[in-house]
Each structure stands twice: as C-alpha cells, then as structure tokens.
Structure 1
Amino acid sequence: MKIQRNTYLSLGTNQGNKVENLQKAIHLIEDRIGDIQKISSVYQTPSWGFEGNDFFNICIKVTTDLESEELISSLLEIEDVLGRKRTLKDGYQNRNIDIDILLIDDEIIFSKKLIVPHPRMLQRKFVMIPLSEIAPCNIHPIEKKQISTCLKNCDDSSEVSLTSEKLIRPIPLSEKYNYIAIEGNIGAGKTSLANMISNEFNAKTVLERFAENPFLPKFYKDKERYAFPLEMSFLADRYQQLTDDLAQFDLFKNFIVSDYYIFKSLIFAQVTLQKEEYLLYRKMFDLMYKEITKPDLYIYLFQNTDRLLLNIKKRGRDYEQGIEPSYLKRIHSGYKNFINTEKKLNTLIIDVSEMDFVKNIEDYNYIINKIKHY
C-alpha cells in the first residue's frame, strides 16, 4: 500500500480565460498527482509585487503518493503543458498558470528544489484566505498555529475579493465506486490490475482462490471427467467469498476491487459442461446470482488470443500450458454474449492487447483515466 499524503497547493492565473486555466490545471493535477479532496472558492486579487492584470487564485487539497522531488517536477510539467512561459527576468510576472506547494502534511522540507511550508505563504492574503477556507484548523508546522490564526496575523493589506466563479472537482475513484469487478479471459491481467488499483487507492481486494481448487489441475488433464465438479466447486467458492466479503466493507478501505465477477462461473460452465450438466448447473447459479451484490463498474479486459497464450506461457503454471487457442476463443465468445445481453451492468471494455500496464506506467495511467472518466 502506498502512503498517501495530504498536500495543499496554491493556483493562480492572470492571463487568458482564467477560469478555464484553473479548471484545466485541476484536471491535470487529478490525472498526474492524485485525488483532489477540496477546492476553495475563486478569489480575485490585484497583481502582487508587479504591475499586471488581476489574478484569480484558489487553493486545493490533494492526496498524493508522490515524493516531494517527483511532486515538484510533475507540477512544473503541468505548468509547461498549460503554456507557462518562464523568462530570465527578475521579480514577479504575468502568467497563465502558477502552482505552488504550500503544505505537505506536517512536513518541513529544505532542499535545493523545494521548501515546505512555502516560505512566503504567511505574508500573502491571496494564499491564506483560500487556504483558510479549506483548512482552517490545520497547523502550520513551523508557526505551530492554526491556519485561521495565521490569516488573522497576516499584515498583507492587498484587497482580496470573492468571485462568483465555480470550479468542478473531479470525483476520485474511491468516491465514484464502492465495488469494481475486473474480468477477462485467462491471462488477461485481471489480478495484476486489481492489485495495482488496490495498492494505489487503498482498496480492499477480493481475489479468486483458484490455486486452492484441487480439481483445476485434474480438469486440464481430463476435461470431460472433471468439468462438473470443477465448475460446481468454483461456483460455491465464489458465492461464499463474494457474499462474505461484500457484506461488510472494511472500515479502513475506501472501496472493493475484485478480479472476477460471479457470472464468470456461468460463462466457463457454458464452455466446459455437457448439456444435461449445464442445465442442472444453471438452476444452482440462478438461485445464487439473485443474492450477489452487483458491481458499480464491470471492467472487461480484452486481450487477443496470441497475447493471452504468451501471458499464459510467461506465468508458467504447468496445468495451463496445454490450453488451446480454440478454448480461449470460446471463453471470449461467452464473455461477449454476456456483455451484450446483461444491460443492467455498467460495463467498460478496455483493449489491453498492445499494453503492458504492469511495467509501463503510461499504460496503467491510461486505464485508470478511462475508469475515472467513464
């Protein structure tokens, strides 16, 4: 589990469409830095320390697992993306976006690249007023006083006016969903993605206990003989696990992410069972399915067959090495039919055939952004 730290940022702009500049910065911070928990009102202030257009200023609270050096580098990249033009001139200047780190939890940092708390924040009302709005009781780690008290002690005489402008706070993944189920064919990367999401967002995982099933190695050696006991044992185990785990949310976890959904049982049963066995199996499944909590988001990871076979070979489970392409294609067809007919599920299909989201952070971030903005 990554350690999340509460970080407070000051954003300002006095060029172009100022509200749009702030909103774009907010979305980029949410994409690249972390979840935005709070956004202050928008305040208008005269240019501070130079002659220029009035500024729009806000403060935001963001939770991030980035270390301080990586955090400052990412914020500078966001300023560059938004067109911040830096010059060699001394003093303050007009800018279309300016992002400053004010506080990182109760840390005190003195380095070549970063000083926290921001060394001039206590002298600036355009910082202290929006910060006091969203964090009045936070303690300044050097002054040892609440932010609201620090604001009262600020001797900045510049005029700061509340505007009627409104900004949109992106909804974090942990607030948007209570339960995400990730599905896909054998070797699609379901468990890897579930674990990565859990690690980043402090989610509780519900992972399929396939390794504990004694029928699985036997099934791959003799499918006809062991298909029915395998599918029945999987169904019973999945039902019990989902019923137990989804019935009570962990108080210290934001949401649940699983690497399977119980409908998987029916899809595999359609492929592996004889007609008479399937009809009996279906009766049992229908009774259980009514009782299972449905996910807020159902994600299907699509991998082409060649990539699936490569992934299966790489992970090296002996009993899987004989899986044939035709078997994988039949399973995919079962998922496809399920997705097309189960209209009540909120389904997101992501093609990961050309991705390596475990090793490539850009691929992983692409998937997370697809989920966030779906």
Structure 2
Amino acid sequence: MKSPKTFYIALGSNKGNRLKFLQMALDKIYLEIGEVLQISGVYETPAWGFEGEAFLNACVAVGSRFSSEEVLDKLLKIETSLGRSRSVAHTYQNRSIDLDILLLGEEIIDSDLLKVPHPQMQNRKFVLLPLSDIAPKEIHPVLQRSISQLLLETGDVSPIDRVTEKLGNPGKSRGFQNCNYIAIEGNIGAGKTSLATMISQDFNAKLILERFKDNPFLPKFYEDQHRYAFPLEMSFLADRYQQLSDDLAQYDLFTDFVVSDYDVFKSLIFAKITLQEDEYSLYNKLFGIIYKELVKPDLYVYLYQNTDRLLENIKTRGRDYEQNIQPEYLININKSYLAYIKSQTNINVKIIDITGKDFINNREDYLSILEEIAGIREEKIEKRK
C-alpha cells in the first residue's frame, strides 16, 4: 500500500464567480485526488502576462496516493469539467479555473507533460504568497530556498490583496475522533488490510495488522487441511491474543484511535470451518477464556465481497499458497461471519457491501465507505446521549 505524498497545488480563477470556481475545484480535488491537508488564504491579483480580469488565487496541500502523472491527469479533467478551455496557441487567457502542481517534496520531475517544481513559481508573487501561508519552510529542491525566502527575493512587485472570503475544507467534518478502536474484517481477499492501512494513514491512527505471513503452518494447511488445521488455528489464536494484548493494553495513552485489520473472534469463525467436532469443542473453551480478557472494538466493520471478486483479488495478489482456495471455502467463511455477526447483540457492527467498488484506485469509492463507517459511528454517539 502506497503512503500518501503531499502535493502543493495552486488554484486560480478570473471568470464568473471566481470564489465558487475555486471551491468547486477544491471539492473535486478532495473527491478525486486526496485529503486536503491545508488551505491558504485567498488573494486577489491583476491578470499576469495578459490583459484580463483580476484573479483570485490560493494554494492547497493535498495528500494523495496517486502518481504525479495521475494527479496531473485528474487536475486537467477537473479544469475541463469546470469549463476551462485551453488555447491552441498556448497563450495566457481568461479562465474559469487554473490548477498547477507546484511542489512534491524533494522530487524533481522534468517531462514533456509535467515539470515539478513549477518552473515559474519563484517569479510569481500570486503563487508564493498563498504558498507561504501553508508551507513557508518547504524547500525548493532546485533553488534550495525556502518558500518564505523566495517570497522575499522575488522580483515580482505586482499588487496583491488578501480577501476576507475563505475556502472550506470539504473533508473537515469527517473523522473518527469518537472511536478509540475500529476493527476491519472480511473474507480472504476482501481488502481489509488495504482499507485499515489507508484509514490509519489518512487519520493518523495506530495500525494493527495481522501477522499471518509469519505463521509457518499456513502454507502447510493449504496443502493438507485435515492434518494442519488444529495447529494452525491454535497458533493463530495465540498470536492474535498476544498481539492485541500488547498493542491495545496502552491504546488509551494515544490521542489517536486504533484501527486493525482483524478482530480475535475471527479465530472462532475459521476454527468452526476447519476443525473436527472434538477439536472445535476444545478450541472453543480456550477461546472463551482468552476473549473475555481482550479489549473489544468500539466499531466492527465487515467488508462483504462476492465470491468471484474474492477469487480475482486472491489471484491478483499472487500468494502461492492461496491459489488453490476453492469457492466453497470462501462461501463457508462468509456464511460463518454473517451468522456470527447476527448472533451478537452486544457489538456495534456495520456490514458494507464493497462488491463492484475499487476503493484503492477510485477515491470516490473509498470516500463512500468512510461515509458509511462515519454514519454508524454517529448513530452510536446519538444512542449514548
């Protein structure tokens, strides 16, 4: 899973309702590109390089997992969707919206389509002033000057005025401040690890990932389930108990919440499917003892994927020992999860159908899942009042 990179993007408009165009562009950036981390003030400046109406300009910092080329492509499509038309002669002209990538950390990009840092940013006060609002200490990787230094040194003496209107952060109202512990669960290949990782990155949460890769019995189990089912389930139970005990024991010392890609009760679900009756009876007794001692999630999210999509995901991620998993096994796992969830009246649970969604590559799908999670969280808060 890629970690988000911080893109510094300039926004400008000198046609129609300029502030509205800036806000609409920012809303689309949030929906299609990434989290809006910071927003500068809005500044009015004369048209630069041609005769035209005055511009409103701003800069934003955006955290995105997309590549620079993908971000550029999305910005161009946002411009087009908001009525921007580009001159064939590439001359300056009035425009409803103008979006430019200014900086991307220490990266230097010099391609036919994209140049980062923006080659003219040091000569444009209408870029440097709003950028200094949000990134005064950011270093220009070519000129080796901070943004605040470049602002002091620029030869651009164009008049520039800060307006009273502000741009709103479209994602500001969303968050997980009222949850201490969220568990993301799902079938094999449902995407629970990816979603938990993305949430942890975007909301600065402590991440707990299941350590299944270190289990020596897992490849053996897929070769001979009857022989290795009991040692596999016992080793998983012991490891999950140890990991959650260690990581959750001090979770209340953290200001952020905890998100995990499993809950320990999955041990019981898989054991029910894989173990013989007498083995399961013993296993269930041990599980009951362990489960009572563990901190329970405030919110439990189950990601539902249909079997065909699960098999596609399993094939795509390419783990050798998973390639012979049969559809019936996945169907039984899903049935067991749903039966367990329905039998539990004391857990706060949300089942989200993500069949047909690609929340890794489609940000709108990702945001729709977050909205569903936030919705169940708000319902819980209301019930407490």
Tell me the alpha carbon deviations over residues 242-268 of structure 1, each in whole angstroms, 9 at most, x when there is no partner: 32345579xxxx997644321212334
The CA deviation at 1:130 is 0.9
For structure 1, the residue ranges without an aligned partner over 5 or more in a row are none
What SS class does the counterpart of residue 94 from structure 1 fall into?
Answer: coil
> 2:291 aligns to what?
289
> 1:115 aligns to what?
115
> 2:169 aligns to what?
168
> 1:103 aligns to what?
103
What SS class does the counterpart of residue 113 from structure 2 fall into?
Answer: coil
The CA deviation at 1:98 is 0.6
- The structure 1 residue matched to 2:368, chosen from 359, 364, 370, is 370
Q: 1:75 to 1:284 in 2, by over 3 A?
A: same
> 1:213 aligns to what?
217
Distance in 1 between the 2:321 and 2:141 partners? 52
| Matched AA of 2:217 | N
How is 1:69-84 mapped onto 2 (pairs within 5 angstroms)? 69-84=69-84
Q: 1:39 to 1:198 in 2, by over 3 A?
A: closer
Identical aligned residues as a percent: 44
Say if 2:189 is the partner of 1:184: no
Contact 1:198 1:205 in 2 (8 A): no
Distance in 1 between the 2:170 and 2:63 partners? 13
The CA deviation at 1:10 is 0.7
Distance in 2 between the 1:342 and 1:78 partners? 46
The CA deviation at 1:11 is 0.5
Distance in 2 between the 1:291 and 1:162 partners? 57
Q: 1:28 to 1:271 in 2, by over 3 A?
A: same
Contact 1:208 1:259 in 2 (8 A): no
Contact 1:191 1:259 in 2 (8 A): yes
Distance in 1 between the 2:76 and 2:23 partners? 17
> 2:48 aligns to what?
48
Which moves more between the two structures, 130-139 or 208-217?
208-217
Which moves more between the two structures, 125-134 or 285-294?
285-294
The CA deviation at 1:300 is 2.4
Say if 2:148 is the partner of 1:148: yes
Distance in 2 between the 1:81 and 1:297 partners? 38
Tell me the alpha carbon deviations over residues 320-345 of structure 1, each in whole angstroms, 9 at most, x when there is no partner: 65x673x6545323322444445653
| Matched AA of 1:74 | K
> 1:234 aligns to what?
236
Distance in 2 between the 1:230 and 1:275 partners? 16
Distance in 2 between the 1:149 and 1:312 partners? 51
What SS class does the counterpart of residue 240 from structure 1 fall into?
Answer: helix
The CA deviation at 1:231 is 4.5
Distance in 2 between the 1:373 and 1:146 partners? 38
Contact 1:43 1:162 in 2 (8 A): yes
Tell me the alpha carbon deviations over residues 124-169 of structure 1, each in whole angstroms, 9 at most, x when there is no partner: 3322221111111223344443322322334423232232324115
What SS class does the counterpart of residue 77 from structure 2 fall into?
Answer: helix
What SS class does the counterpart of residue 207 from structure 1 fall into?
Answer: coil
For structure 2, the residue ranges without an aligned partner over 5 or more in a row are 373-385
The CA deviation at 1:95 is 1.8
Contact 1:179 1:257 in 2 (8 A): yes
TM-score, normalising length: structure 2: 0.71
Contact 1:299 1:350 in 2 (8 A): no
Q: 1:87 to 1:333 in 2, by over 3 A?
A: same
The CA deviation at 1:291 is 4.3
> 1:265 aligns to what?
267
The CA deviation at 1:82 is 2.9
- The two structures, once aligned, show a CA RMSD in angstroms of 4.6
The CA deviation at 1:279 is 7.2
Contact 1:194 1:257 in 2 (8 A): no
> 1:131 aligns to what?
131
The CA deviation at 1:183 is 2.2
Say if 2:352 is the partner of 1:349: yes
| Matched AA of 1:45 | T
> 2:381 aligns to what?
none
Contact 2:186 2:192 in 1 (8 A): no
Distance in 2 between the 1:216 and 1:156 partners? 71
Q: 1:83 to 1:196 in 2, by over 3 A?
A: farther
Which moves more between the two structures, 298-307 or 152-161?
298-307
TM-score, normalising length: structure 1: 0.72
